[in-house]
Amino acid sequence: MARQDAFAPTPADKFTFGLWTVGNPGRDPFGEPTRVKLDPVKIVDLLGEVGGVHGVNFHDNDLIPIDATPAEADTIKRDFRKALRRHGLKVPMATTNLFSDPVFKDGAFTSNDRHVRAYAIQKTMRAMALGAEFGAKIYVFWGGREGTDTNVAKDPVQAGAWFREAINFLCAHSKDMKYGYKFALEAKPNEPRGHIFLPVTGSMLGFIAGLDHSEMVGVNPEFAHEQMAGLNFVQVVGEALDAKKLFHIDLNDQEVGRFDQDLRFGSQSYKHAFALVKLLIDHGYNGPKHFDSHAYRTSDYADVKAFAAGSMRTYKILESKVHRFNSDRGIQALVGKIVREDRKLAGLTAKYSSKSAKALLAIDFDRKALASRSLPYEQLDQLTFDLLQGAR
């Protein structure tokens, strides 16, 4: 990769990929893999060759197959650690595969079977230990099969209580073991189940408030998942930032009304992607930026590398556009017109007192004059388009 490129990523950008993302062999519900399956070392080598990557994340079984013997696990870990060192890659995040094995066909923490629920918690404790061995500090929970295919099969109130019990237990375990994990809950409305519990990030934020250790639990919103639910991802992330709960983020893309596509970040929704990068920059998000996407099934591994490099390049290009937007005089003049402040009014509503309530009640607002103030959003939106398309 050309290092002198203005859009070349560096590890300081905190871009991460998953063993399961760049290593995705291109299987889909209708077809067999189109790429040979790479082992973890080869995936790390691939990311090293792409260059500028900060880290690689994994599910327990992306690294250690579910049936591996302890001796096999040791060999895999040793080789993986060597590969990470060779390329200077970190493991910022780890997670558990609670969806592939048939034992989880009815969910993990919300399975109707107490034995499966206990096994899921045990598997997660072991996976947390594995992540900690590689220095992971963020632990993601994606409830892949935590749901139902028919509403008569599971009581959602009961399922919520089971899910809470599991997360409370695992938070306490993390503290007990001094792993220092922050948990990040990832929502998705459907796929692979017909209906998944806590379907959107907003649900997760509500759920977190009722946990025993809510301070160590935040969210991992994913672009595609909120888009699948018909929501505006930029607003979703804004809500998470406002709650100080944006612990991790899954960047990808998705067209509305389609299956879970996991498209390359920015490949489809340029304008949303720009607004998202602007939001993250404006609010100083400093966590990892994980590309949770797959290359097209038609790609070979040379194209997978282009996909990985492209994900980071797109982010860097959008980042440079955000800096231009934030320093563009014409644009900022419009922004200045749009946001109107008034010190006296701000003082009145910042904090309630019966005095300020009386003062506010006594103000004679000129409703018609307020309504007639101009809001040149069309101009602003067009200038944004010009800037993004290189016409400004």
Annotation says 59 is catalytic: yes
Quick check: 260 binds ligand GCO (CB under 6 A)? yes
> Where would I find the beta strands (DSSP E) of 50-161?
55-59, 93-95, 138-142, 147-148
> How far is 309 from 22, CA to CA, in rounded Å?
11
Chain residues 227-266 in contact with Mn ion, contact rule CB under 5 A? 250
> What type of residue sits at position 38?
L
Q: Which residue number, 146 or 222, has a Cβ lying nearer to ligand GCO?
A: 222
140 binds, among Mn ion, ligand GCO, none (CB under 5 to 8 A by kind): ligand GCO
By rule CB under 5 A, what string of x and - marks binding of each residue 210-229 to Mn ion? ------------x-------
Query: Which single residue is written with the structure tokens 């016409």?
Result: 391
Residue type, 303: D
Name the residue nearer to ligand GCO (CB basis): 146 or 292: 292
Both structure tokens of 319? 């980042």
Could you tell me the CA-to-CA distances from 62 to 54, 127, 234 in Å, in that order? 19, 11, 30
Which of 46, 63, 140, 234 touches ligand GCO by CB under 6 A? 140
Binding flag, residue 208, ligand GCO (CB under 6 A): no
Residue 253 lies near ligand GCO (rule: CB under 6 A) = no
Structure tokens at 137: 């500090």
62 part of the active site? yes
Q: Which of 326, 336, 253, 258 is nearest to 291 (CA)?
A: 253
Nearer to ligand GCO, 14 or 188 (CB): 188
> Nearer Cβ to ligand GCO, position 297 or 392?
297
Cβ at position 293, least distance to Mn ion in Å: 8
Q: Which of residues 290-319 bind ligand GCO (CB under 6 A)?
A: 292
Q: Which of 54, 59, 225, 248 is catalytic?
A: 59
* 111 vs 221: CA distance, rounded Å: 23
CB 373 within 8 A of CB 342: no
What is the rounded distance in angstroms from the CA atom of residue 30 to the CA atom of residue 247?
35
Task: Give Cβ neighbours of residue 158 (< 8 Å, ≥ 6 apart).
Answer: none
Q: Which is nearer to ligand GCO, 185 or 234 (CB)?
A: 185
- Show contacts with ligand GCO in window 85-114 (CB under 6 A): 95
Cβ 222 to Mn ion, closest distance in Å? 4
In 3D, which of 16, 21, 23 has the Cα closest to residue 40?
A: 23
Candidate residues 123, 188, 264, 289; the one interacting with ligand GCO per rule CB under 6 A: 188
DSSP 145: T
Residue in 13, 54, 60, 62 annotated catalytic: 62
Question: CA dihedral in degrees (187, 190, 196, 202; nearest 10)?
Answer: 30
Nearer to ligand GCO, 144 or 202 (CB): 144
Interface with ligand GCO (CB under 6 A): 95, 140, 142, 186, 188, 222, 250, 260, 292
Residues labelled catalytic: 59, 62
Interface with Mn ion (CB under 5 A): 222, 250, 292
